[in-house]
Structures are given as C-alpha cells and as structure tokens.
Structure 1
Amino acid sequence: MNQLIAQFLHYLRAERFFSPRTIFAYQHDLGKFVEFLESTNKTDIIHITKEDVRHFLSGCAETNGAVTIARKLSSIKSFFKYLGREGIIDANPVSDIEAPKLPEKEPSYLTVTEYQDLIAAVKFKATPYYLSRDLAIVILLLGTGIRLSELVGLTLDRVNLDRNDRNIKVKGKGNKERIIPLTIEVAGILGQYLKQRPDVSSNHLFISRLGSGLRARSVYGLVKKYLKAANITKDRVAVHSLRHTFGASLLNSGANLVVIQELLGHKKLETTRRYLHINNIDLRNAVEKLVLSKPQ
C-alpha cells in the first residue's frame, strides 16, 4: 500500500505539478487512511470496500470538521482514481461516496480605506532594510491578486518592467502559466525594490536577509504583522484576503467575470463567482445607477 501511495505522490509531483504543500496534504491524509486499514488488518488494496472508507471518515468526524473530512475523502478518491487509470484496480470503491456539504463562506476582503491603511502601516512600521521589499510584496499582492505560493515562486526573469508592456509571468496551479499586467504604481514600487535588492545568487524575486528565496510562512507572518499594525482585525483576514481584494476591486470597477477569472487563474468560472462577494452596499449602489424614466 505504501509503495502505491509513493507512486501516486510521484505522479502528482512529476506529471500534475502539484505544490509541495498540496502533496504533503495528500501524503498526510493517505497515511492516516493506511493506519486505519492496518488497524483492521486490511493491507491488500483490492480488498478495500466502500464501507472501509466510510468507517474511516466516520472515525475522523469525531475530531475533525466537515472541511477536513471533505479533503480526506478527496485525497482518497484521487488515489483510487489514479489506481484505476493505471490498471491496478478494476473497480473504484469510493466513486459514489458523497462529500459532506460545506457552508459557503463569504470571502474576506479589504475596503479601500483598509488597504490604504495597510500600505501606510508598511511604510511606517517596516525597518529601513526591509521597507522596499515588504512594500513591494504587499503592493504586488493587492495589485495582481496572485496566490502566496505564486508570489514566493516568482523569479527575476518573470518580471517585465518595460513601460510599454509591464507584467509578471506567474506559474499557477497545475503549473499553468498566466501573464498579469502591472499598473504604473505597482511597477514603480517593484522597480524601487529591485534597485535596492541585494545582489545574491538566488534568482527569487523576494529574498530573505540570508539571501535565499523568501518562504511562504515568512510572507504570511509579515502580512499579518502589518494588518495588525493597521488595526485590521476582522475575522479571517490574512494573505489570501489581499487576493480577494484584488478580485473584488476589479468587479466593482466593472471588469467582466471572464477577465477576472483569467487574471486570478481560476480553472472554472463558477470558482470566480463564489470567490467574489458583492455586499449589500455594492448591490444598492448598482441599483441606484438605474434610470428608468426620462428626466423631466
């Protein structure tokens, strides 16, 4: 069983180009599943039944929420789908097991005042050594909507600050590349950082004091620090909220959903629809713009 899981994880890494974080989640979930199977003396993959999976998930439900259960089931389903495609099993025992329904959470994003306060907090709180870097990070997250993993994966050769074609090339989920234009403001701040960026061997755009590529947890920590400094403490506001802010700003400025989908790197338009939340004020402002009668 463990050998099959190792093959599956290699497939995710080499052919599906999944991120290390995602692969770790698969490894963790499948590892727990194997532990459960071994406790019931089931070690042969062809003898695993639908009921085995249900019993495993039922046990997990005692200490885990619906989101975690859904993720574990998704990991198991992907694993068995891979085994079927490789001809290792004839029937998929989990194909018709339904995932628990998850409550739809409204994405958290910053208001104009809040993201202006965030930028001001960076300028006020950052040490001189980190100011240009941290400001460029926050501005790039707000001004492009890229994911945290995409930001730390950016390299110098993927940044184009030519004034006639300012953009960054991002490798998103599934190693799919997309090009995101940069505004004059974003390009200017990024350019200032590049002028002050230490000359090190690492090709990563954002680097640590040690000269290596900045890690995701470091970026997460510094963004949380500046959010706190800006007194932005509402629930579920973190790095991903800056991505939501970019999408919401595009929507409020009249951008087409398909355009937003492309910029955010969503595979399905339905994801973009769920991703962007229009609050009641936005709805009211939209309705107020309607003029049904001719002016007298």
Structure 2
Amino acid sequence: MATSSAASSSDTPPATSPWIDKYLEFVRVERRLAARTVELYSTHLATLADQAAAAALPVERVSTAHVRRWMAQMHGAGREPRGIALVLSCWRSFYRWLGQQGQISANPVQDVHAPKAARPLPKALPVDDAVRLADLHDADADPWTEARDRAMVELLYGCGLRVSELTGLDLQPEKESRGWIDLEGAEAHVLGKGGKRRSVPVGAKAMEALGIWLALRGERALPGTEAALFIGRTGRRLSAQAVWKQLRERGVKAGLGAPVHPHMLRHSFASHVLQSSSDLRGVQELLGHASIATTQVYTRLDFQHLARAYDAAHPRAQLRSGEQGKPAPPAKIRK
C-alpha cells in the first residue's frame, strides 16, 4: 500500500514550472517591472501551478475549461471580482508569452473574464446634512474665500454639477468657454461628458451666494487674463483638486461625519430631487446622463430612504426586524 501511494504521489507534477520561472525572469529583467508587481505575478502564477498540479497536468496543457472552473472556485471562496480580474490578467499575460515561445497554440485565458463587480450605490448626504453644509457660515475664514466656497457648494448641490463642469464655468460666454453662468436667466450652461452641453436652473440660494461672491471676486482677479467664475488666491482658474480640498475642509467645519467630495453633492442633488418629485426623466436631463439606466441607480437610494423612514416610524416595523435587534419570529399562517 505504501509503495502504491508513493508511486501515485510521484505521478503528480510538482506545483512549480520551469516556464513560470522563465516568465518571471523575463518580466523582471526584460520588461523591468517593479519588484512589487513581480511579487504579485509570482503569487498569482504559484496559484496557477498549484491548480495545474492538482489536475495532474503541466501548465502548458491547461485549457479554457480548467481556467473557468478555477475562476468559479475563487469566486465561490469569496474572492472579490476585482481580485479575480487581476489574477486572470496575470495568467493571460503569461500564456500570451508562452505562445510567443511556441509552447501553446491558443491562450486558454483569452476569453475568460472575471464576474462583474456589484455596482456600489453612490453616497449621498442626508437632506439635513446637505442643508447644514450649504448654510455654513465660517466667521473665522477669510471673507473672500468664504464667499467663493459657499457659492461653489450652492452650485454643486443646487445644480448637480460635476466638479469639472463647475471649474469650467466662465463669467460670460466666450469663444472657448466650456460653460458660463447666465445671471439674468438664472441658469448655468455647462459642457458635460462627451462634449454634450446642457442648461440647468440656478436656485435662489445659489444666486444669492453668487452675488456675494461676484462682489468680492475682483479683489484678486487678474484683469483681462482670467474669465473663470471661480479663481484661487493667485487669480487663476480654480483646479478640481482645490475644490476637493476646500469642500472636505468645509464638511469638517460643518460637523459632518463622512468626508464630503464634489460628486457626493451631485449624488445628493439627484437623490433629493428624486425623493421629492419621482421624476426620473427630469433628473436624467438635469444630470446630463446619456442613458436612463445611469440615473436609475438613484431609485435604489430612494428606496433605502423610504425603508429607513418605515423602520423608524411605522408601528409594524418592529415586527419586521424583531425587538431589540433579535430576528422576528416566523409568521403564522392562518387557516
């Protein structure tokens, strides 16, 4: 019995491959990949060698069916789709190189793709938090900066602008303008993704904040050289990075628990308008989405909002979730 077991063990290829060793040397020496990348490649290819050894075949004889089965095993074990995609990318590159060496006729990983990752819900502020951020008056801040930042928050939250659309706004339409503010018509004209232009209404609060900002803007503007609506201390157009920084600091000052960023205010705008109006098409037009499917994600946010309201207020909510955090007992069927 012992002899039979030893013979069986010797028939199983070791979980290493000279071709993998040669490939790692190739990416390290000829492609000059970073040490960390080579280390990750080594880990992913060791997994490939282990799987091939368990199937009693050399890595050169791995088929697409094998790769699909191993991918399913990784997914079933709880590995994230992004992690699986990185493993497959490594294996795909290895087999491409192996084909160049004349060792295989087809890449077994070529048409294998990782499972799609679940699309995360956009993070939106509760209405009270969004209003608190917009109403913040920082008495200790420089009045010029405070006026500018308040106007930016009002436009981001009040109009649902992307940060690139906000920083691209000019005082008035120019030949090369990406966007501008129509103060008389209370509209913002912006250039969105794909070069698509759209106009969005500017609310009374945002118009008020813009009026205060425009009265102070000229103190640091460069006459005749900068048409940007929002500028920095040097008088030049404000960058997206600067908007992120200012908004995060403003969120801290407002006492908000989550870090605030420009796209969060865009999400908040969409979610809050949808909660109030249920007009999905209207929200799509305001956001400048090419497809209604992109906008529909906010209906999931709206349902979460309604579910929280139900749990907090409905007298039957406790029957659904159980008292004191315990699961509710199964419902009895009346006969």
For normalisation by structure 1, the TM-score amounts to 0.62
Cα contact 1:167–1:182 (8 A) shared by 2 = yes
Report whether the alignment pairs 1:208 with 2:232.
Answer: yes
Determine the structure 2 residue equivalent to 1:194: 214
Report whether the alignment pairs 1:159 with 2:180.
Answer: yes
Q: Report the Cα distance in structure 1 between the residues aligned to 2:84 and 2:242, rounded to whole angstroms.
A: 28
- Mark the CA change 1:103 to 1:129 in structure 2 (over 3 Å): closer, same or farther: same
1:237 Cα offset (Å) = 4.0
1:212 Cα offset (Å) = 0.6
Cα contact 1:67–1:102 (8 A) shared by 2 = yes
Instruction: Give the partner amino acid of 1:184.
Output: A
Deviations 1:104-158 (A, max 9, x none): 3222111222122212434445321212111100111010111111111112224
Determine the structure 2 residue equivalent to 1:262: 285
1:279 Cα offset (Å) = 4.4
List runs of 5+ in structure 2 lacking aligned partners. Answer: 1-23, 32-40, 46-79, 89-107, 174-178, 314-335
Q: 257, 261, 265: which is aligned to 1:238?
A: 261
- Mark the CA change 1:161 to 1:270 in structure 2 (over 3 Å): closer, same or farther: same
Q: Report the number of matched residues.
A: 220
Q: Report the Cα distance in structure 2 between the residues aligned to 1:161 and 1:255, rounded to whole angstroms.
A: 28
Determine the structure 2 residue equivalent to 1:171: 191
List runs of 5+ in structure 1 lacking aligned partners. Answer: 1-35, 44-54, 60-64, 74-92, 289-296
1:274 Cα offset (Å) = 1.5
Q: Percent identity?
A: 33
Deviations 1:247-287 (A, max 9, x none): 0111011141111111111121111111451144425769x
Q: Report the Cα distance in structure 1 between the residues aligned to 2:283 and 2:203, rounded to whole angstroms.
A: 16
Q: Report the Cα distance in structure 2 between the residues aligned to 1:94 and 1:181, rounded to whole angstroms.
A: 50
Secondary structure of 1:170's partner? strand
Tell me which moved more, 128-137 or 270-279. 270-279
Root mean square deviation, CA, Å: 3.9
Cα contact 2:180–2:190 (8 A) shared by 1 = no
1:167 Cα offset (Å) = 0.6
1:188 Cα offset (Å) = 2.2
1:100 Cα offset (Å) = 4.0
Determine the structure 1 residue equivalent to 2:27: 39
Cα contact 2:170–2:228 (8 A) shared by 1 = yes
Report whether the alignment pairs 1:102 with 2:117.
Answer: yes
Q: Report the Cα distance in structure 2 between the residues aligned to 1:117 and 1:166, rounded to whole angstroms.
A: 23
Secondary structure of 2:136's partner? helix
Instruction: Give the partner amino acid of 1:174.
Output: G
Determine the structure 2 residue equivalent to 1:228: 252
Mapping of residues 38-117 of structure 1, within 5 Å: 39=27, 66=81, 96-117=111-132
Q: Report the Cα distance in structure 2 between the residues aligned to 1:263 and 1:96, rounded to whole angstroms.
A: 39
RCO higher in structure (CA 8 A, sep ≥6): 1
- Mark the CA change 1:39 to 1:281 in structure 2 (over 3 Å): closer, same or farther: closer
- Mark the CA change 1:94 to 1:194 in structure 2 (over 3 Å): closer, same or farther: farther
Q: Report the Cα distance in structure 2 between the residues aligned to 1:189 and 1:224, rounded to whole angstroms.
A: 19
Instruction: Give the partner amino acid of 1:216.
Output: A
Report whether the alignment pairs 1:121 with 2:146.
Answer: no
Cα contact 2:283–2:295 (8 A) shared by 1 = yes
1:191 Cα offset (Å) = 2.3
For normalisation by structure 2, the TM-score amounts to 0.55
Cα contact 1:172–1:265 (8 A) shared by 2 = yes
Q: Report the Cα distance in structure 2 between the residues aligned to 1:131 and 1:122, rounded to whole angstroms.
A: 8
Cα contact 1:208–1:214 (8 A) shared by 2 = yes
Q: Report the Cα distance in structure 2 between the residues aligned to 1:171 and 1:95, rounded to whole angstroms.
A: 38
Cα contact 1:126–1:134 (8 A) shared by 2 = no
